[in-house]
Chains A and B, each alone.
Chain A
Amino acid sequence: MRVLIIEDDSETANFLIKAMRESGHGAEWAADGITGLDLAREGAFDVLLVDRMLPELDGLSVIQTLRKEGNQTPVLVLSALGEVDDRVKGLKAGGDDYLTKPYAFAELLARVEALSRRATPGEQATRLVVGDLVLDRLSHAVTRAGETITLQPREYRLLEYLMKHAGQVVTRTMLLENVWDYHFDPQTNVIDVHVSRLRSKIDKAFDKPLLHTVRGAGYVVRETES
């Protein structure tokens, strides 16, 4: 995956480039809006990381220009402006996701990976399969190794989101935003409890766990532990 980082602070940018490369992704850096727009137009990026406040051309204008030109590269907006209406503005301008500074890199990485997957087709699959766990999005039926698993509606949506992003780390905040549609910072481990309930339903009676905790980041649904 190739990521374009449009960010005027060189220390932040260097940190992001280094961390992205360590995670196995390619990263390039533009220090102002105009350069960023030019690089983004040349294409070949899977995700754009755009800071809102940039010299020359502000982040939201960069995104709006790209969208007007028909460029649909997924954009993660990074901003110190973190209120709900700032976020709405960011998404209205054409951003696909919004992350408030300061952020944990694990959170950023999880979101970037979720966005890059979004750009590839398969989002609309009617059956989600991970190992012997099957979720049928038409009948809302969940089975593991052929056994029916009964889930509460919210548990179903939680599992659906996790399976849609199978193999990708999903953070607690992403779950809170996408499964519950809450945009705030939970003070407690409220998501963990829901995940552990779900886990007891889909993993407990089976040898091989599918729902894994990723320390310091979040959760991932995948077949193997590694």
Chain B
Amino acid sequence: MTPRAALSTTVFGLSALGVAAYLVVTAALVALVVWQSNRNFAAEVLDTLSAEAETIIAMAGDRSSQAINAGLQRLHTRDQHHHPNRLYFLSGPDGRKLAGNLAQPPVGWSGKTTGGLFSYKTNGAPSLRTAAGLPLALDDGGFLVIARDIEDQRKFVNRVRWIALLAIAAIAMGGLSLGFLASRRVLSRVEKLTTATQSIMAGNLSGRLPVQNSGDEFDRLSDSVNAMLERIEQLMGGMKEVSDNIAHDLKTPLNRLRNRAENALRTARTKDELSAGLGQTIEAADEIIKTFNALLLIARLEAGAIEETKAPVALGSLVAGAAELYEPLAEEAGLRMQIGHLPEVTIMANQQLIIQAVINLIDNSIKYGSKHSAVLAAAPDADPPHHAVHPGQITVDLVKHAHSVDIVIADNGPGISEHDRQRVLDRFVRLDKSRSLPGTGLGLSLVSAVARLHGGTLRLEDNAPGLRAVLRLPI
């Protein structure tokens, strides 16, 4: 991180702008105050002087230089030690100095001058001092100047001005330094984020942006980016799983297809045998297509872009329709389908996906609810077949809650053991017990994906005995 980089951040730019604005306003303010107080002070002094001039004239009795001189002498002896700043200069009609503690009148002043500031030099003093003075033309051609030394006030104002300027400069420096430090801090956070991002881009998908737990804007940003990375990693994991599973679970049926074709070619003697072999080959191809379609659908669902396809769906009718479609099939399989009271609940959903999900659940319950004896035979670790004596029953219910609705499909087949329940929601997971049954192994994961996409859940519960699948959708 170079200092130049710290100077080009937004934070530094903003603080520099703030400092500049502060400088302009404060400098203008100080200048105004100084100028105004100088002006007021000078005006006040001149007012006092003109009042004093009137007093002197009144005391002297007339406006001749002699009378004034006498008056001044009296005034001088009486007041001088009270007014060390009081200055005056009196000249007679001939222009010669008669009295006064000023060595000479202000340069260029005459009786007609209006008065104001001037500089003078006292005996022995090294530098010029400033005074405010008022000239008076006397009747006999004499000339009087009364003045006040205001050098101390001027110095005070100057000091104030300097202090103000120093303060402004200090504040400006402080502001810029703080801006620079803040900028460096921001940059160092950004640097850390960049390093983490680069490591993630380089393939370290489990890497995350650093979070300092201060709850500041960077933490909030990092948190949401991390959540995004989490999801991406999940999706990538899903993709990897899919490709692994495609490799595993599609290769098997592809190989089966190939074997059947090869077998027909090798062993078929008659046209009929050849046709039968080809028929089997086509069946195998159809199975692969089904698996492939289901896989594509799940992948698309997990990409999660169905928002615009949602429309009001009347769930009661939908579930009733699906149950009606499968009722004969259940009966054929020796199961009794009990359809509960299905209240009409309308939700925003993708109708075809919900139908597909409900049908998958019913299809599953028929497939597994009716196969308990076969499954038990294939599964030595299963419970004693006490439920085999019960007639199979499938129940279809719709339960409305305040903010959600449950579609409940239950059977009393062998069920799924607790530790397998989450696993069957994964793609292609078919418990070993069911390897012999037809199906892609994608049914429940598809239902689960549909639920997730609608902000709902799929829960698998123990129906004691059997499986109870609860598809919960938000209303």
Contact = CB atoms under 8 A, between A and B. Distances in A.
Interface of A: 82-85, 102, 104, 154, 180, 182-190, 193-194, 197, 216
Contact of B355 (A83, A154, A182, A190): A182
Contacts of B350: 84
Judged by DSSP, the binding face of B is helix
A180 B325 contact: yes
Interface stretch (B159-167, B326-334, B387-395): B326-334
Given A184-B352, A184-B356, A190-B325, 19 more contacts: A84-B350, A85-B309, A102-B289, A182-B359, A183-B352, A184-B355, A184-B359, A185-B294, A186-B359, A187-B360, A187-B438, A188-B363, A188-B366, A188-B367, A188-B438, A190-B363, A193-B328, A193-B332, A216-B282
Nearest to B351: A84
A84 B309 contact: yes
6 contacts: A84-B309, A85-B309, A180-B321, A182-B352, A187-B440, A188-B366
A110 to B, nearest CB: 16
Contacts of B300: 83
A104 B283 CA distance: 11
A187 B328 contact: no
B286 interface: yes
B293 interface: yes
B105 interface: no
A104 B286 contact: yes
Interface string B279-317: 100100110011001100100100000000100000000
B248 to A, nearest CB: 20
Interface in B1-58: none
A216 B324 CA distance: 26
Contacts of B279: 216
A182 B362 CA distance: 15
Contacts of B456: none
B277 interface: no
Contacts of A193: 328-329, 332
A197 B328 contact: yes
Contacts of B438: 187-188
A202 to B, nearest CB: 16
A187 B325 contact: no
B92 interface: no
Contacts of B356: 184
Given A85-B309, A216-B279, A189 B329 contact: yes
Contacts of A182: 325, 352, 355, 359
A16 B262 CA distance: 25
Interface in B410-450: 438-440, 443
A188 B325 contact: no
Contacts of B360: 187
Nearest to A82: B293
A104 B278 CA distance: 13
Interface in B55-94: none
A85 B352 CA distance: 10
A15 B326 CA distance: 36
Contacts of A187: 290, 360, 363, 438-440, 443
Contacts of A194: 325, 328
Contacts of B367: 188
Nearest to A84: B352
A197 B294 CA distance: 29
Nearest to A181: B321
A104 B325 CA distance: 24
A82 to B, nearest CB: 7
B304 to A, nearest CB: 14
Nearest to B296: A82
Contacts of A82: 293
Nearest to B331: A193
Interface string B196-208: 0000000000000
B431 to A, nearest CB: 17
Contacts of A188: 329, 363, 366-367, 438
